[in-house]
Structure 1
Amino acid sequence: MLLKFVAHHLWDPVKRAADATHGMPPDVEQRLRDTGVLKALGPHAPDTVRRRLTSWSILTRWRGMTESFSSPALKTALRLAVRASDRPRRRESAKAVTGDVLAQLLVTCHGDGLVAMRDRALLLLAFASGGRRRCEVAGLRVEDLVEDDPVPQDPAEATSPTLPCLIIRLGRTKNATADDDETVLLISRPVIALRDWLNAAGIVAGPVFRPIDQWGNVSPRALTGQSVNLILKTRCGQAGLDPSSFSAHGLRSGFLTEAQMRGTRSSKRWNSRGTSRSIRQPAITTVHPGAAAGRFG
């Protein structure tokens, strides 16, 4: 059944045009469309198929059923199907939000107003925590934040001042497997900005980032992923940048590009599926010393 699912959802449009039986059988496709289950007009994205397989794997474990989601046959079939589908990769942000671009955005978040404090904390956290996806930023809750011991600014100096640290529990992210629960460590400026926002907004539980109305009232609801994207584009416009050239995905590719330019040792997170292709090679980029990963600025 699993192999059929892969074959039905990852197919080659060119082969389908020549052979109607390639991919999902026409009668199966029609029944799914009639019931509203199938809406895509072409083959599904490989990541969509992977996420659905991961969800089914979790469900079968909860029900105590034996499952074959980790079988070599399924992994091989998925790999070959992805290669055969030849789906073009869609760039989600024309330009990466590298360190120098982020610095320009942060300049627009000056002052101690709630909107400025929220946006400053959001941008710093999204970038410094490894370029989080907008849904991960929007879904972050206070319960996911864990205070950690401060670290010395200069480990070689016994009297060195310390920097605040915070651990973020991400749970299962988009590309995580069923057994993975991811965490990231924030150090210094992002931690300070996040604490300032939470204190000013009086948030002690629930969503970290929330809408703010025109009268300055903080909503109990969480921001949506679209709102995170809009905040980034708004700040780009205020910084004199073209908002159409940037999206929230640019924070992710920008972090990875920044890490590569600084020669930062790749972690398993950066080597995970879908991450390496986000790395860009800008012609000229200003590198800010001391602005590495979780301690940007």
Structure 2
Amino acid sequence: MTDWNEDAAAGEARVAVHPVAAASSTVVAPLLQDEIAAARSYRAQAKAANTLRAYLSDWSQFEGWCWERNLDSLPARPEAVATYLAALALAGKADSTIGRHLAAIGWKHRQAGLVAPTLRDERMVIADTLAGIRREQRARPSARKAALTAKDLAAMIAVAEGEGTRSIRDRAILALGLAAALRRSELVALERRDIEMVDKGLRLTLRHSKTDQEGEGQVIAVPSGKTLKPVERLKAWLEVRGSTAGPLFYRIEPQGRLTDKPMSDRSIARLIQKYAGRTDLDPETVAGHSLRAGFLTEASRSGATIAKMQEVSRHKKVEVLLGYVRSAELFDDHAGAEFL
């Protein structure tokens, strides 16, 4: 969509001189302005809130990089963008993150009514640079974070001892994160209204997620459990938190005082690494995704079907789920088990 300010002005000018529309110009112009405002509003909702925050952050970083090197960021030359992507790769960014930065740069150009650098890249310097980065990263050893088993998580919950506000909150986050196979972004986006206690556990409503960009909402069943006890731990947190509307998990100040602000997704990763470090686990091997991966790995080991795993994980592609199944069953019925 182009910048509507100039188009609206031109439209009003046409109305003013048109022999038939001139008499009703005082009616048409306000209607057009209302429709323009609606179009802007709908356009603003085209991207999920998390995506917009990421794009704005990525654009700010690119803008700063250009400023330090005396380069134009808007419009940006394809060669400058390709060099920026290379700089991100040198800094150790994953190709998925680099791809998002590139998308953010294109998004900002379109917002400004400019052609995205990728569409002005006649020599394909951006595409070739990105392809080279991806080829190199595929050749590197995988840095995928380890899945947390139920035994691992039980040990982490055990070291989060005490009845302080932070300990109660952290135990609930750890247990619920694995029980519902949640991404760290989903954990911090939960609100109090998303929790409904039922006889067999709780119903968890995810209003937005990576696989639900349109915000249709997804409901996950979380059993009460016998070992990790996610429902019991969440109830303990709710008694501390209270029933007011807002984020399900609040930030806590160093003194232990609750705030009314949601946690950040990075704080979830730090929380997991903190408690992993208090057990026999290497904190460098785990992160936010370890809770989600842990659920899928444990579900596969316990014989859960792909369909039942997908109900909780909400994966759109079964191939991704199969990766967890293969990993969990790697040594089951091994071809060499009888003769090695």
TM bucket by the smaller chain?
Answer: 0.5 to 0.7
Indicate yes or no: 2:147 matched with 1:100.
no
1:40 and 2:85 are equivalent in the alignment = yes
Q: Please tell me whether the aligned partners of residues 92 and 250 of structure 1 are also in contact (alpha carbons under 8 angstroms).
A: no
Q: What is the match of residue 207 of structure 2?
A: 171
Percent of matched pairs sharing the same residue: 25
Q: Name the structure, 1 or 2, with higher relative contact order (CA <8 Å, separation 6+).
A: 1
- Which of 286, 291, 316 is the aligned partner of 1:272? 316
User: Aligned match of 1:120 in 143, 159, 171?
Assistant: 171
The gaps in structure 2 that reach 5 residues or longer are 1-73, 108-130, 332-340
Q: In 2, are the aligned partners of 1:109 and 1:120 still within 8 Å (CA)?
A: yes
**Residue of structure 1 in register with 2:193 after alignment:** 143
Deviation at 1:179, TM superposition (A): 6.9
Q: Which amino acid aligns with 2:205?
A: R
Q: How far does residue 211 in structure 1 lie from its aligned partner after superposition?
A: 1.9
Greater helix proportion: 2
Aligned to 1:223: 263
Q: Secondary structure of the residue that 1:166 maps to in structure 2? A: strand
Partner Cα distance (2:142, 2:180) in 1: 21
Change over 3 Å in CA distance of 1:106–1:44 after alignment to 2: closer
Are 1:207 and 1:221, in contact at CA under 8 Å, matched by a contact in 2?
yes
- Residue of structure 1 aligned with 2:217, choices 161, 164, 181: 181
1:102/1:212 CA distance change after superposition, 3 Å: same
Once the two structures are superposed, the pairs formed by residues 238-277 of structure 1 within 5 Å of their partners are 238-267=278-307, 268-269=310-311, 270=313, 271-273=315-317, 274-277=320-323
Using the TM superposition, give the Cα deviation of residue 265 of structure 1 relative to its aligned residue in structure 2, in angstroms: 1.8
Counterpart residue number, 1:18: none
1:281 maps to which residue? Answer: 328
Q: CA deviation at 1:111?
A: 2.3
Give 3-state SS (helix, strand or coil) of 2:221's partner.
strand
Greater Cα radius of gyration, structure 1 or 2? 2
Residues 66-112 of structure 1: CA distance to partner in whole angstroms, max 9, x if unpaired?
A: xxxxxxxxxxxxxxxx9xx7673995643210111111111112221
After superposition, the C-alpha distances for 1:146-189 in whole angstroms (9 at most, x for unaligned) are: 23x303xxxxxxxxxxxxx2111112311235374211112212
Change (3 A) 1:204 1:250: same
**Aligned letter for 1:95?**
A
Amino acid at match of 1:277: G
- Distance change in 2, residues 1:232/1:176 (3 Å): same
Q: How many angstroms apart in 1 are the aligned matches of 2:98 and 2:194?
A: 25
**2:148 & 2:257 partners in 1: Cα distance?**
30
What's the Cα RMSD here? 3.6
| Aligned-residue offset at 1:45 | 3.2
How is 1:10-89 mapped onto 2 (pairs within 5 angstroms)? 30-31=76-77, 40-41=85-86, 45=96, 88=138
Partner residue in 2 for 1:291: none
Work out the number of aligned pairs and report it.
211
Q: CA 1:191–1:204 in 2, change beyond 3 Å: closer, same or farther?
A: farther
Q: Aligned to 2:240, which of 200, 203, 206? A: 200
User: CA offset at residue 201 of structure 1?
Assistant: 2.9
Inter-partner Cα distance in structure 1 for 2:177 and 2:274: 16
Q: 1:133 to 1:226 in 2, by over 3 A?
A: same
Tell me how far 1:224 sits from its aligned partner: 0.4
Checking the alignment, whether the CA contact within 8 Å between 1:198 and 1:204 is kept in structure 2 is no
